[in-house]
Chain A
Amino acid sequence: MRFNVLEHQLVPEHRLVAEEEADRVLKALKITRDQLPKIRKSDPVIQVLEKIEGPIEEGRIIRVTRVSGTAGVSEAYRLVIGR
């Protein structure tokens, strides 16, 4: 790894969500996976997460925790897609 993007000041925290928890999240939001915003497997953040978590398949969910100007901290989710 040349550079861990997650350590960059401007990159918010990304975490792989465990499958059981992912189902809970989807249930709470009353949505299906395809209704989530997407993130590519080739995204530098996923590359870094794969170094930590091992291979991440398509269809997994990532939680993004941002510092928010309005809400303090806000959480968002992304669906891992191909390429």
Chain B
Amino acid sequence: MMSSMRGVTKRIQSIKFALLSPDEIRRMSATKIITADTYDDDGFPIDMGLMDSHLGVIEPGLRCKTCGGKVDDCPGHFGHIDLAMPVIHVGYVKDIKKLLQATCRKCGRLLLTRQQAQEYMAEMEQVEELGGDVTEVGYVTKETAREAQKRQRCPHCGEEQGKVTLDKPTTFREDGHKLTPKEVRERLERIPNEDLRVLGMNPEVARPEWMVLTALLVPPVTVRPSITLESGDRSEDDLTHKLVDVLRINQRLRENRDAGAPQLIVEDLWELLQYHVTTYFDNQTSGIPPARHRSGRPLKTLVQRLKGKEGRFRSNLSGKRVNFSARTVISPDPILSINEVGVPVEAARELTVPVHVQAYNSEIVKQWVKRGPAPLGPLGEYAPGVNYVIRPDGRRIRVTDKNAEVVAEAVEIGYTVERQLVDGDIVLFNRQPSLHRMSMMAHEVRVMPHKTFRFNLAVCPPYNADFDGDEMNLHVLQSEEARAEARVLMRVQEHILSPRFGGPVIGGIHDHITGSFLLTYKESKFTREEVTFILSKIDIRDLPAPDVKKGGKEFWSGKALFSAILPKDLSMTFKSSIAPKGDIGLKELKEEDSLVVIKDGVVLSGTIDENGVGAFKGKILDKLARDYGPDAARVFIDKGTKMAIGAIMIRGFTTGIDDEDIPEEAKKQISDSLRTAIEKVEGLVDSYKRGELEQMPGRSLEETLEVEAMKILGRARDLAGQIAGKHLGIENSAVIMARSGARGSMLNLSQMAGSIGQQAVRGERLSRGYWNRTLPHFKKGDLGAEAKGFVKSSYKSGLHPTEYFFHAMGGREGLVDTAVRTSRSGYMQRRLINALEDLKVKEDGTVRNTADTIIQFKFGEDGVDPSRSVQGRAVDIDDILQEVLGEEPSWKERLREQEMASYGLTEKDMYVEISEEEVEVEEEEPPSEE
């Protein structure tokens, strides 16, 4: 059966939307509903009541009177209510209004001449022929209706037209006189079929009078099940409550009308019926109070079931809840391997893996079951228990301490046992927003005490996680196939290289980088005790030979220690991130110990920092993952990060605002140079005012002034930074972090120690706020540095009030930008995903859609997997040449090659990430014009 099903694909060719006619409603109705009562005194559903058993079954054991099925077989059946008087359907008021305005009040014809109608019809057909979609055809019909509405007199019968208005939500008026739904319906009935076609309606399936209801469809009870409370009372669904209201008023309306009650009373009841039917559809219709439950809670009616984040679409169709999953706060654990995840005992006891009982494992499985649901090991540690035993017939037996022994005896081949997590189980770990494939990776479980999920810090970058309260989800795989697939394809170590830029996304961060720096910078050396401490963190048991002996003491160089975790045949050359910027000579590079040369697994020179082991930039990581495989790379990251942490712990590392202390004299120098710059700007402004400023080509005089002023002030800030920087040496913690790439930048430091500099909005000096000035503290028309947002203070010295204000102005632009950018890129990402989600690369390298038609003849045109590429290229020619020829290209050539290889990839690109504070975007389209 299943095999014959395979390969049968069906495609939806088109979807047609239509209106339900009263006839169709009655035809599909299993029963007419006439009474508002639901159950009789014995608790049985009343015939022709809202819970009539023709409408389906919700109680187990009973059978449906329509189809004879039991609870799970019967899909439920619709019923209907015949309305005493017609009522408007709120969902269609706009269309009704359009139709009333576009057609004659007397003869019902479209208010266009025959010729006009034909022209519009032809236009519409043409759009359809050209492959125009529903919206495009909609534009034409909208135009048609607009043209018809303009006409004051009917071209067919000559009748003068009234002005039809809509009194929200459902009252129509013509020249101020109220039109009853009955009158509206009669008018819509008069519109001839051919005129409807011009307006884009297909009268065969959508006659406009069907928008005014004479019969109301009652949904099956399965859609609005009643629940029995513990007290034995029945509690009905909101929809049922609403239908009860409709039925009651409908009944009263019929009685009053038939008894010939005064017109006023009938009209009141009619309006009440309209209100109930309207709120039955949408209980948030503007202009009318929402219907409320006795408790005061507004009822959740049809529209409320579908709409919004908690609605059917977003909450149940686009997103689903799953079993065997857990969510909790995350925290770091540098001892764990990057492949592992720490799972709290409490979670591990709830999460289970199904184990099928076979001959080979039946004994051990029985032992598990016998131990009950919360066993402890010999040392009182966690041991996996069993929560459920599933018999071959599918029945689940909950294992408790009481029944464990009995249940264990019953277990035999063919049973399935749900075993709690153990160390080494493979699980999926995920952090939202899941923007790339590394947002969900497979980890190996380590059951641990305490209540958080824990993982290695090197895995923070792909998840974009930090520990300020972030939570993550964990899913336990339930089949062998899924586990095998996850282990091979999704394990963390398989994702060290990112397909986004063909470099490492997993690697050292913050203290890992600082630690590596401290370990390897220049002649850093360590005593026997220190080396023992560092190496004890990784499984190196034999102390290498000491590198230096001095005064009878032995020392080990950091570079030698680091070399211990490199493969023995690794050779490479690259610049450290502490290297001075720009095109510099070999001598300078060596002076700063920033040319890393690794030969046969030994670091000969250079400092290992962000460019060596950092996430995104680590060259060693990159090469290891590519040439030595994910296992070697994982081992390197695990050991390298532990070693770095060992090194940082030995020296101790801290930073504080006193790291930005500079001598009084430097401060004076800075303030002098800033004053000079400000005076220069003043001079510039003077010459501008005197009209002596020389205009720059292609710029106005004002622009010239601005450009010059920005230039001077920019230079002033840089100079202040340089002066401050002279006093901030590499022994300074903040500088170590900035230079090695661990955290922060030299710009951050110079803004703390030197001067914050010019504030800008839209790339220009501040100018807005008051008339001709930024703040009332300045003279009107003041173009000087301080009046237009130059902040000469540093973060450390503190800002003057006006400076503080300017800084807030500049800062706000940044915030607004991020907010706008994230919401836009989030929405764009979503649309891209929706468009591309079911494309896949087939075995032959072609990219195909679900219909198996070709989208791209070769993936990426070159068939290269970007995560296995060298910065996007298929092969690293230099590397191969070196390996084959055994020649080491000169360091400068090599570095140049490397820079070229990373073309199109700037530092900025690597860090652009869509932030998690993704602004809420509505599911469907951006807001339409209405």
Binding site for B on A (CB under 8 A): 29-31, 34-37, 66, 68-71, 74-77, 83
CB distance from B843 to the nearest CB of A (A): 10
B858 and A71 contacting across the interface, CB-CB below 8 Å: yes
Chain B residues within 8 Å of A71, by CB: 858, 860-863
A70 and B852 contacting across the interface, CB-CB below 8 Å: no
Having A31-B854, A35-B854, A37-B854, one finds 12 other A-B pairs with CB under 8 Å, namely A35-B848, A37-B853, A68-B861, A68-B862, A70-B861, A70-B872, A71-B860, A74-B858, A74-B861, A75-B857, A76-B857, A83-B131
Bound complex: CA of A78 vs CA of B855, how far in Å? 10
CB distance from A29 to the nearest CB of B (A): 7
A36 and B854 contacting across the interface, CB-CB below 8 Å: yes
B853 and A70 contacting across the interface, CB-CB below 8 Å: no
CB distance from A68 to the nearest CB of B (A): 4
Chain B residues within 8 Å of A70, by CB: 860-862, 864, 872
Bound complex: CA of A30 vs CA of B864, how far in Å? 21
15 CB-based A-B contacts, threshold 8 Å: A29-B844, A29-B846, A29-B857, A34-B853, A35-B854, A36-B853, A66-B861, A68-B861, A68-B862, A69-B861, A70-B872, A71-B861, A74-B862, A76-B856, A83-B131
Bound complex: CA of A36 vs CA of B851, how far in Å? 11
CB distance from B309 to the nearest CB of A (A): 38
CB distance from B902 to the nearest CB of A (A): 15
Name the CB-closest residue of A to B857: A76
Known: A30-B844, A70-B862, A70-B864. A77 touches B853 (CB 8 A): no
Binding site for A on B (CB under 8 A): 131, 844, 846, 848, 852-858, 860-864, 872
Chain B residues within 8 Å of A36, by CB: 853-854
Name the CB-closest residue of B to A72: B862
Chain B residues within 8 Å of A31, by CB: 854
CB distance from B536 to the nearest CB of A (A): 47
Chain B residues within 8 Å of A29, by CB: 844, 846, 854, 857
Partner of B857, one of A30, A74, A83: A74
Bound complex: CA of A83 vs CA of B132, how far in Å? 13
CB distance from B170 to the nearest CB of A (A): 44
CB distance from A30 to the nearest CB of B (A): 7
Bound complex: CA of A75 vs CA of B858, how far in Å? 9
Bound complex: CA of A83 vs CA of B864, how far in Å? 36
Chain A residues within 8 Å of B855, by CB: 37
Bound complex: CA of A30 vs CA of B305, how far in Å? 48
CB distance from B452 to the nearest CB of A (A): 43
Name the CB-closest residue of A to B844: A30
CB distance from A47 to the nearest CB of B (A): 16
Bound complex: CA of A69 vs CA of B852, how far in Å? 26
CB distance from B439 to the nearest CB of A (A): 25
A35 and B858 contacting across the interface, CB-CB below 8 Å: no
Known: A30-B844, A71-B862. A77 touches B857 (CB 8 A): yes
B857 and A35 contacting across the interface, CB-CB below 8 Å: no
CB distance from A40 to the nearest CB of B (A): 9
Name the CB-closest residue of B to A76: B857
Chain B residues within 8 Å of A35, by CB: 848, 852-854
Name the CB-closest residue of A to B874: A70
Bound complex: CA of A52 vs CA of B844, how far in Å? 34
